[in-house]
């Protein structure tokens, strides 16, 4: 019998990569989607005949339980969240509801419907925030710097708590930034790749950014979904850092993206330190140590930083050309 997986956040960046990966492993895949006046199907359009959608909302306990009763999954991947750090200062309560308390709603639903379901929680390197150790690993102390980071710390600990309280197979994947052509346009990498594509095609002449000095450990989302799956295939539930072990500044990302389209005097297009994009508290420097995942899961990243930047810029050039 094919295994069944339910993915929340199927319409986001990671959901479709995970669905593709699970389909390639022979899974029956269900996506949990909330009702929107205009359905967000951009990232899942190509999967419409391969996956099944069930409706529900992270805020609605009954709908989560209904989705589990209807689909009877072996594995649940909880990817849904308010995931944009910048918005979390403008909507801190909603971020707490979606990103923190909803993890408890999901875990309660699993506990009440079927404790044998294996549960993956999408935790984040944002939990390390003002880092207390470099590189960051599973044992590094959390010091979140945004309402989003605080919410993710709650999500992490409630997952550990359900594992320890009810002996549930619940794991927390502490993933560092991962990007792709499917990334939301407001995140810095996609904002850069899209603007560079438009500038190269003569559709725009400027790019407004905030802090160019912060550093992130950027990997490719397509590589990271395999790690999520591997975590649920182990004999024991545990938490893992997933990263590349290398970091780069926003400035480096900008410079490389412009270089790909043959522009070296990129400074004349970029307006940095725009107040709209400067955060009340910044996370300056993230870099992950994924040695536990390498040793126990046999996982390692496949896509390099230059390959990632090139993939994103080229994909945006193709997308923008279609609008011309
Ligand atoms: P994303 O693109 O922002 O996708 C978020 C998903 O959550 C969307 O499908 C969205 O659906 C859904 N969602 C939001 N509120 C919902 C609600 N009330 N009910 C049901 N669904 C709701 O996020 P991502 O980049 O794929 O990341 C996946 C997860 O990993 C998130 O939890 C994120 O916080 C975490 N994470 C991401 C990274 C990263 O670098 N990408 C790193 C560490 C952790 P709609 O289409 O309806 O809006
Ligand atoms: O792309 P970002 O918005 O991602 P951030 O804040 O690192 O969060 C992402 O990664 C987390 C994992 O660590 C996830 F949990 C989270 O859900 C999300 O996927 O910003 C990256 C950096 C920041 O330092 C920000 O200040 O880029 C800087 N930045 C500079 N100018 C900008 C901009 N960020 C955005 N979004 N827009 C700008 O114009």
Tens digit of each residue's pLDDT (9 = 90 or more) over 72-117: 999 999 999 999 999 999 999 999 999 999 999 999 999 999 999 9
Q: Of 130, 151, 149, whose CA–CA distance to 282 is shortest?
A: 130
**Residue nearest atom 20 of ligand 2, based on CA coordinates:** 188
| Cβ contact 288:244 at 8 Å | yes
Q: What pLDDT is attached to residue 310? A: 98
Q: What pLDDT is attached to residue 223? A: 98
Which two tokens mark 72? 């009877």
CATH 3.90.25.10 spans which residues of the chain? 184-216+248-282+304-323
Report the pLDDT averaged over residues 275-298: 97
**Residue nearest atom 28 of ligand 2, based on CA coordinates:** 211
Dist. CA 73–CA 89, nearest whole Å:
35
pLDDT grade, residue 16 (50/70/90)?
very high
Dist. CA 100–CA 78, nearest whole Å:
12
Q: What pLDDT is attached to residue 140? A: 98
CB of 252 closer than 6 A to ligand 2?
no
Closest ligand relative to 121 C-alpha: 1
Q: What pLDDT is attached to residue 150? A: 98
CB of 193 closer than 6 A to ligand 2?
no
Dist. CA 112–CA 245, nearest whole Å:
39
Name which CATH class applies to 4-178+218-242: alpha beta
CB of 191 closer than 6 A to ligand 2?
yes
What pLDDT digit, counting tens, does each position of 26-83 carry?
999 999 999 999 999 999 999 999 999 999 999 999 999 999 999 999 999 999 999 9
Report the pLDDT averaged over residues 286-313: 98
CATH 3.40.50.720 spans which residues of the chain? 4-178+218-242
| Cβ contact 293:100 at 8 Å | no
| Cβ contact 174:241 at 8 Å | yes
Fold classification of 184-216+248-282+304-323 (topology level): UDP-galactose 4-epimerase; domain 1 (3.90.25)
Q: What pLDDT is attached to residue 155? A: 98
- Return the H-helix or E-strand segment holding 308: helix 305-323
| E strand spans, 231-294 | 240-242, 248-249, 270-271
Ordered DSSP codes for 140-161: SPP---SHHHHHHHHHHHHHHH
CA 292 to chain centre: 20
Ligand 2, from 177, 190, 283, 308: best to mutate by most atoms within 8 Å of Cβ?
177
CB of 159 closer than 6 A to ligand 2?
no
Strands 170-175, 215-216: pairing is: unpaired
pTM of the entire predicted model:
0.98
């Amino acid at each position: 019998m094919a295994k069944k997986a339910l993915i929340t956040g199927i319409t986001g960046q990671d959901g479709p990569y995970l669905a593709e990966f699970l389909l390639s492993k022979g899974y029956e895949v269900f996506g949990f989607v909330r009702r929107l006046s205009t359905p967000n199907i951009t990232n899942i359009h190509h999967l419409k005949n391969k996956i099944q959608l069930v409706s529900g909302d992270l805020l609605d306990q009954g709908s989560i339980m209904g989705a589990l009763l209807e689909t009877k999954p072996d594995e649940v991947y909880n990817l849904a969240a308010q995931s944009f750090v910048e918005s979390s200062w403008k909507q801190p309560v909603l971020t707490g509801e979606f990103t923190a308390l909803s993890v408890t709603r999901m875990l309660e639903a699993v506990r009440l419907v079927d404790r044998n379901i294996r549960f993956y929680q999408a935790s984040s390197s944002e939990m390390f925030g003002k880092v207390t150790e470099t590189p960051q690993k599973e044992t590094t102390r959390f010091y979140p710097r945004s309402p989003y980071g605080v919410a993710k710390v709650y999500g992490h600990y409630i997952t550990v708590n359900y594992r320890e309280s009810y002996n549930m197979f619940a794991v927390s994947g502490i993933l560092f930034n991962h990007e792709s052509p499917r990334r939301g346009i407001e995140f810095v990498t996609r904002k850069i790749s899209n603007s560079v594509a438009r500038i190269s095609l003569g559709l725009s002449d400027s790019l407004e950014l905030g802090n160019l000095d912060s550093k992130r450990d950027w990997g490719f989302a397509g590589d990271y979904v395999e790690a999520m799956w591997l975590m649920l295939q182990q004999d024991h539930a545990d938490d893992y850092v997933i990263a590349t072990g290398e970091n780069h500044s926003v400035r480096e990302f900008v410079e490389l993206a412009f270089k790909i389209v043959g522009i070296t005097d990129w400074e004349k297009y970029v307006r940095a330190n725009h107040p709209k994009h400067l955060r009340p508290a910044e996370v300056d420097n993230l870099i992950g140590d994924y040695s536990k995942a390498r040793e126990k899961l046999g996982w390692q990243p496949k896509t390099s930083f230059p390959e990632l930047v090139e993939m994103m810029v080229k994909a945006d050039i193709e997308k923008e050309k279609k609008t011309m």
